[in-house]
Amino acid sequence: MDLKFIRENPDELRKLLTLRRVEFDLDRLLGLDAKRRSIAQERDKARHEQRKISERVSSAKREGKNCAEIVVQARGLSDRVKEFETELARIERELTQLIKTLPNSVHSSVTAKEELISEWGEPPKFSFEPLAHWDLGEALDILDFKAAARLSGSRFVVFKDAGALLERALISYFLDTHTRNGYVEIYPPVLANPACLEGGGQLPHLETDMYAMRDDPFYLIPTAETALINIHRGQVLDSSRFPLKYVAYTPCFRREAGSYGKDVRGMIRIHQFDKVELVRFTRPEDSYEALEEMRVEVEGLMQALGIPYRVKRLAAWDVAYQSAKTYDIDAWAAGVKRWLEVSSISNCEDYQTRRTNTRFRNAQSKLVFPHTLNGSGLALPRTFIAIIENNQQPDGSVVIPEVLRPYMAGLERIS
């Protein structure tokens, strides 16, 4: 967030923090900013005096006069300037860290309440009691939670046989669809340095939910968004190429530190999961149109898979720190009898590009920050859950959606 905006609009920022339910010591930030500007003025005065005394020393030397006393004054001023510079650097570091903990502003359409935007499809009806995915997956021998516990612990899953094939089919189908829609496929590292996570907005406030390397300065990425947002870090982009559209499949890693006791069974909330992520870089004036385009793209996947879903506009307090507006898409899962979030689609405006110092030249040749958008297209394994729970049959088999069959050697059902 821009410090000038904060300084000139403190009341607006207080309202934003209240709307987002974020605790932040704004008075401390404003106090540090005022102190920084005061010290900067004192430093500039000292520099001015330093220049005047330097001129007096030079003049005295030319005239052969004794300038020892003036030299002592000059050294004293030099020391004062250094002290001011040291204090300024300390305050600016503290200000920078404080500002990094501020959330993004929210779009004018985002309110204190969540809004249901639309629904598609009808939840399936059964002549029997549908099984939850953990029982169904075990019966079909396509999910093995016991093996995962032996390998890693709780909140992990092993996909087996047709289960592994279905997971891979979903990833391939998503990537193929998005690349046909003009996205450039990226396969990034899953280890990221702290600067990438700060740029994406995950650090510092999500640090406790990420896995950090013990001996190296890396984190396992919680989402491919982290990598894609930083792909142009520090660059000046050619705006004639906008929008830049990227898609990436990666495994994602989350500690789920705040979810103790929630969704313990199955794979609704696990430490490692697959996700296909979309990211766009756009001109600021185009970003909200791009947000709607991305929503249509993701809804197209859900419709092609035949999964009943709903679209929500998130409340301000529920929007991610880096986002100004977010749509969530929830899939209906018949076995667990609940809606499961399979996609979040967000406009982060210039929150991330300010942090990554990614810019472009506008029509007036001024360097400005582009807007970034991101969206899950889609997240697994919740999409997997919805497919097998909704498509289970009386004989215990699961019908495969038609669009996935070419990726599964023509397999029509898992028996």
Q: Which amino acids are annotated as binding site, given as ranges?
A: 223, 254-256, 277, 341-344, 374
Tokens found for residue 32: 């540090």
Answer for the pair 264, 154: CB distance below 8 angstroms, yes or no. Answer: yes
Tokens found for residue 164: 């592994």
At residue 142's C-alpha, the angle toward residues 304 and 248, to 5°, is 50
Binding site for L-serine: which residues?
223, 254, 277, 374
Please give the helix or strand (H or E) that residue 184 lies within, else none.
strand 184-186
How far is C-alpha 352 from the geometric centre of its chain's CA atoms? 8
Q: What are all long-range contacts of 209-213, with beta carbons under 8 Å and residues at least 24 apart? A: 209/254, 209/255, 209/256, 209/257, 209/258, 210/253, 210/254, 210/255, 211/253, 211/255
How far is C-alpha 113 from the geometric centre of its chain's CA atoms? 22
Paired strand residues for 353: none
Taking each helix axis from N to C end, the angle separating 26-62 and 68-100, rounded to the nearest 10 degrees, works out to: 160
Binding site for ATP: which residues?
254-256, 341-344
Tokens found for residue 85: 């510079």
Helix (H, G, I), strand (E, B) or coil at 372: strand
